[in-house]
Amino acid sequence: DGGITQSPKYLFRKEGQNVTLSCEQNLNHDAMYWYRQDPGQGLRLIYYSQIVNDFQKGDIAEGYSVSREKKESFPLTVTSAQKNPTAFYLCASGRRYEQYFGPGTRLTVT
Amino acid sequence: RKEVEQDPGPFNVPEGATVAFNCTYSNSASQSFFWYRQDCRKEPKLLMSVYSSGNEDGRFTAQLNRASQYISLLIRDSKLSDSATYLCVVNLPASGGSYIPTFGRGTSLIVHP
């Protein structure tokens, strides 16, 4: 089946630990995106990549890092430097500015 | 002023009603506009693209007004299943000639029997 997968669905971590969220797509899309959504809020762009081996910071990149070594994969690392990491993280891929989202990962850091 | 603004609602309407949402944007050079639907605790799903000429898909009509810098979504004959949050997306110009997608905070719609 074609689509975008994110794993895990729920993730719990202790403060001070880095954690990596997975995002894979088999839609052959060039562009991939990471967003964060907090309760009652819209989506805020963390990082985006329009082509393999290239990525740009979005509005709230501080405390996050990404890599884009393969077209299909765009993992996001939430580092210990991110002050408020608990959130719903959404990955998307797309072309011509249309985006298709994965099911998301709910990260809780205590 | 926020770059993309939506009335958060909620819009509370009876089944069968017609309801319309607007989304305003501040940068006149914006392009590529979309409406998404998001159910509670789920990912957003693409509803439709928005063009100046209008875009209709069944009970849904989307329109772009460049002069006044807003996009709209009209839902006719509302169903209970239309209850959701509707997010607009505007692609704002960024460095190097690229465009960055920016989401509004969403408008909540509740359709009641």
Among candidates A15, A1, A2, A11, which has minimal Cα distance to A75? A11
CA distance B106 to A38: 12
Contacts of B58 (CB under 8 A, 6+ apart): none
Q: Do B98 and A33 touch (CB under 8 A)?
A: no
- pLDDT, tens digit, for every residue of A81-98? 899 999 999 999 998 889
Contacts of B49 in chain A (CB under 8 A): 98
Give dist(CA A41, CA A81) in Å, integer: 22
Taking CA A17 as the corner, what is the angle to CA A16 and CA A19, rounded to the nearest 5 degrees?
140
Instruction: List A73's β-bridge partners, or say none.
Output: A24, A70
Nearest by Cα to A94 from A40, A50, A53, A39: A50
- What integer best gives the mean pLDDT of chain B? 94
Does the CA dihedral B38-A48-A36-B33 come out positive or negative?
Answer: negative
Mutate to test the interface with B, among A35, A43, A56, A95 (most CBs of B within 10 A): A43
Residue B95, C-beta contacts closer than 8 angstroms, at least 6 positions apart? none
Task: Give strand ranges (E) for chain A.
Answer: 4-7, 10-13, 19-25, 31-37, 43-51, 54-57, 64-66, 76-78, 87-95, 98-101, 105-109
Q: Could you report the per-residue pLDDT of B27-78, keeping only the tens digit for each? A: 999 989 999 999 999 999 999 999 888 899 999 999 999 999 999 999 999 9
Contact residues, chain A, for B100 at CB < 8 Å: 45, 48, 58
B22 shares contact with chain A (CB less than 8 Å): no
Give just the sign of the alpha carbon dihedral A61, A66, A68, A70.
negative
Give chain B positions within 8 Å (CB) of A25: none
Q: Flag the least confident range among A89-98, B75-84, B96-105.
A: B96-105
